[in-house]
């Protein structure tokens, strides 16, 4: 009989399903987050490792706090779960985001990303893809009207930039749902970086974005309704195939860390939601180089995008999912 109080005694696959990360990655989080978490001042205080596991369990399921705490491997009250989520999310945002969410700046790194995009989608000189996705939230008590998005529900509009391997290289979750994508992009650090490089004479680095973004010398968007047989139509086709990578990234992020999926709204203030989104993005990036794989199911909305073979990177038949 295994020790029912020790989550690490669970089988590896079951452990990953419960917490969204494998045992090695959770051990990495213990080593890097425990020194920054508040120490136990009394004997009954929940250990710091357990606080991390509680937060991970919530990120992976999006369940109600009471339900997370009542699981036999965690056994904590709703109030404790709430504090753990806030503490761990903020700690990850402050200490691990700078290490794991980094926009490529060096020529060597960018050339590797460009080669990967070229290999997978046959589109030259692309460094990243950009898109925004809505994270459903409970109506906030302040400026509630600003959080109603174009689809009619309350949300944070989160800007995500990713590379060809689905690694998130930049994320901004701090805007309300009514904010359009172009408004979030305009003052962003990545745009300022690309603009400064362009002003210095750099002409071979581009992002791909959809029609919600403005056409700029460093950001390529779609032509409007071109004939599919002319160069503009062929460009649109290649653009959509390549930019579908960001759709896959959004899909994987929400399916693995289901607190972002919208099945249950995040019932927190917008600032806390931002920390949770960043924490999930960091964990998403941890999983990719570690080779952690999950069964990703299609989301509810049917959006026709191109699916890439996981072994060779070639385009396959359309799959249906959304970011």
The pLDDT tens digits for 160-198 are 999 999 999 999 999 999 999 999 999 999 999 999 999
Q: Which residues touch 55 (CB under 8 Å, ≥6 apart)?
A: 84, 85, 87, 88, 89, 279
Residue 45 has pLDDT above 90, yes or no: no
Ramachandran bin of 172, using left for φ above 0, alpha for ψ from -120 to 50, beta for the remaining angles: beta
- Edge-to-edge strand order for the sheet containing 155-162? 168-176, 155-162, 126-136, 206-208, 219-220
Q: Which pLDDT value is given to residue 88?
A: 96
Q: Which residues touch 287 (CB under 8 Å, ≥6 apart)?
A: 20, 21, 25, 256
pLDDT, tens digit, 9 for 90 and up, residues 245-279: 999 999 999 999 999 987 778 889 999 999 999 99
Average pLDDT over residues 215-226: 92
Quickly count: other Cβ atoms within 10 Å of residue 39's Cβ.
Answer: 8
> In the structure, what pLDDT confidence band is assigned to residue 304 with cuts at 50, 70 and 90?
very low
Domain boundaries, the chain: 7-95, 102-267
Q: Which pLDDT value is given to residue 310?
A: 36
Q: Which pLDDT value is given to residue 65?
A: 83
* Alpha-carbon radius of gyration of the chain: 21
> Mean of the per-residue pLDDT values for the chain?
86
Give percent of the chain with pLDDT exceeding 90: 56
> In the structure, what pLDDT confidence band is assigned to residue 40 with cuts at 50, 70 and 90?
confident
Distance CA 149, CA 164 (A): 29
Residue 318 has pLDDT above 60, yes or no: no
Torsion sign across C-alpha atoms 108, 114, 115, 117: positive
Q: Which pLDDT value is given to residue 315?
A: 39
Residue 311 has pLDDT above 80, yes or no: no
User: Where is average pLDDT lowest: 5-9, 147-151, 152-156, 164-168?
Assistant: 5-9
Distance CA 282, CA 169 (A): 10
């Amino acid at each position: 009989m295994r020790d029912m109080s020790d989550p690490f005694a669970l089988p590896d696959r079951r452990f990953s399903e419960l917490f969204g990360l494998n045992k090695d990655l959770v051990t990495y989080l213990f080593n890097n987050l425990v020194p920054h978490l508040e120490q136990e001042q009394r004997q009954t205080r929940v250990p710091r490792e357990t606080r991390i596991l509680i937060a991970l369990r919530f990120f992976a399921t999006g369940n109600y706090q009471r339900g997370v705490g009542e699981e036999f491997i965690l056994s904590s009250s709703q109030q404790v779960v709430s504090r753990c989520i806030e503490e761990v999310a903020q700690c990850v945002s402050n200490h691990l985001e700078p290490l794991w969410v980094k926009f490529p700046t060096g020529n060597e790194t960018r050339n590797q990303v460009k080669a990967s995009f070229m290999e997978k989608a046959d589109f030259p000189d692309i460094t990243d893809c950009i898109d925004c996705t809505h994270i459903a939230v409970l109506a906030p008590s302040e400026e509630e009207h600003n959080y109603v998005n174009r689809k009619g529900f309350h949300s944070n509009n989160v800007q995500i930039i990713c590379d060809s391997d689905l690694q998130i290289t930049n994320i901004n979750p701090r805007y309300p749902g009514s904010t359009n994508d172009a408004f979030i992009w305009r003052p962003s650090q990545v745009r300022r970086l690309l603009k400064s490089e362009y002003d210095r004479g750099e002409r071979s680095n581009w992002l791909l974005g959809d029609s919600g973004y403005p056409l700029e010398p460093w950001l390529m968007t779609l032509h409007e309704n071109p004939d599919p047989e002319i160069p503009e139509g062929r460009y649109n086709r290649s653009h959509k195939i390549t930019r579908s990578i960001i759709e896959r990234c959004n899909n994987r992020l929400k399916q693995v860390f289901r607190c972002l999926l919208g099945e249950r709204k995040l019932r927190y203030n917008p600032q806390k939601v931002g920390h949770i989104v960043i924490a999930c993005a960091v964990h998403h990036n941890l999983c990719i180089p570690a080779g952690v794989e999950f069964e990703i199911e299609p989301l509810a909305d049917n959006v026709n995008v191109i699916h890439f073979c996981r072994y060779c990177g070639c385009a396959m038949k359309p799959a249906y999912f959304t970011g």
